[in-house]
Amino acid sequence: MRDGKIVAVGRDIDAPPGVRVIDATGKWVTPGVIDSHSHLGDYPAPGVDAVSDGNEMVNPNTAEVWAEHSVWPQDPQFDLARAGGITALQILPGSANLFGGRGVTVKNVPSVTVQGMKFPGAPYGLKMACGENPKRVYGQRGGPATRMGNVAGYRTGWIRAAQYLEDMKSDGRRPTRDLELETLAGVLEGDILVQHHCYRADEMAQVIDVADEFGYKVSSFHHAVEAYKIGELLKERDICASIWADWWGFKL
């Protein structure tokens, strides 16, 4: 190993003298595991309400919030994840909102601050959600209460972001800085990657239609329990599916 990374494995290695030799008989040697959907640090465990900071459930559109501003690096789960081989994580806001906010990619290294964990050069992601979750959270709080309401909410947000972007590029007076629209405009510019929580095949297809309408790309559908039904479509669009290893079939 060199600088924390596996360089070579085997008996006949041209290694410098004095290096530590590890007997790996009967063990597995793999690259570090990358967790593409994590809430570590935002939902610590063991935890209490005082440190539960993953969902800003005040409005269906909270694109202005950033998960890194809630990450608690001393969450004991980071140590457990590292012991299990997880060396990098994308920490995302929760899935209550249509636009949940920015995620952050970190290295799973011991640190007192999230700044000491951030993965150099990693792009931000925008967490979005469709289907059951926004309906359940906002159905009795002014909406959206239906899946068509969800899609209308996406389109409204992107219309505002497109106008903000146009105003930013105009020759006239630049608009007042808006954190929500700044994030959405970053998606339209291709600088921020869309990470979309979605379960049903039909919903994923609807989201792709919205992305086509406004000229952005979905990087990955998360959970994506029916992604297998539209595998060819996802392949054509170069969209990933970040799925559960288990405990998956409990929501649609």
What residues pair up with 240 in beta bridges, in sequence order?
Answer: 220
Residues near 73 by Cβ (< 8 Å), separated by ≥ 6? Answer: 41, 110, 111, 112, 113, 114, 116, 117
Q: What is the pLDDT of residue 251?
A: 72
CATH number for position 65: 3.20.20.140
Q: What is the pLDDT of residue 17?
A: 86
Evaluate whether residue 207 is within a structural domain.
Answer: yes
Evaluate whether residue 252 is within a structural domain.
Answer: no
Name the percent of the chain lying above pLDDT 90: 81
Mean pLDDT of 58-81: 98
Mean pLDDT of 203-213: 99
Evaluate whether residue 105 is within a structural domain.
Answer: yes
Q: Give the pLDDT band (50/70/90) at residue 249.
A: confident
**Each residue of 12-65: pLDDT tens digit?**
888 888 888 888 889 888 889 999 999 999 999 998 999 999 999 999 999 999
Mean pLDDT, the chain, integer = 94
Q: Give the pLDDT band (50/70/90) at residue 126.
A: very high
Mean pLDDT of 76-100: 97
Evaluate whether residue 177 is within a structural domain.
Answer: yes
Residue span of the structural domain in which 192 resides:
33-242
